[in-house]
Amino acid sequence: MGREVRPVPINLRNTRIIPFEFQYFEPESLEEVLQLLGTYGSEARVLAGGTDLIVKMKIRAIEPKYVINVKRIKELRYIRVDEDTIRLGALTTWRDLERSDLVREKVPALYDAVKSMGSVQIRNMATVGGNLCNASPAADSAPPLLVHEARIKLTSIEGTR
């Protein structure tokens, strides 16, 4: 594969933010993310917006050994049209959707739902992928996406489906 992705040192001592230690990674490509997930599996958690993950870590509801910050993977943040299909990247934020004329015009149920999701601060951080993957009771994206017959593309070290 590409370069070796090493943990980024973080100092959590003397803070009350996260009460346990973990290794933190900031990969620079989707390939590196998949490599890390393939290596660490269920002991790793993906950090994007952090609106669910950080809260759970603060209260020790989950204590991952590895945290993989994917926020820098620009290829996962987009709103675009391919033929007659609107595509949303996993790192697209709710604020991106709220500001999109394309979403407002072509996906009205999603646009209406986005406007009522959390505060502006939450919409600036929360991602489409995180909202769908975390099974949070506040995950309001599934119904409007289903109304518009959305499909999801999943990618792992083993391939895409």
Q: Give per-residue pLDDT as tens, 99-135.
A: 999 999 999 999 999 988 889 999 999 999 998 888 7
CB 131 within 8 A of CB 139: yes
Rounded CA-CA distance 29/76 in Å is: 10
Is residue 56 over pLDDT 80? yes
Which amino acid is residue 92, in one-letter code?
Answer: T
Q: Where, residue-wise, is CATH 3.30.465.10 in the chain? A: 77-160
Which architecture, in CATH terms, is 77-160?
2-Layer Sandwich (3.30)
The structure's pTM equals: 0.85
Strands (E), 1-157: 23-25, 44-47, 66-69, 79-82, 85-88, 155-156
Q: Please count the other Cβ atoms lying within 10 Å of the Cβ belonging to residue 154.
A: 9
Residue 147: what pLDDT?
87
Q: Has residue 151 got a pLDDT over 80?
A: yes
Q: Convert the pLDDT of each residue in 24-49 to its tens digit.
A: 999 999 999 999 999 999 999 999 98
- Say yes or no: domain 1-74 is CATH 2.30.40.10: no
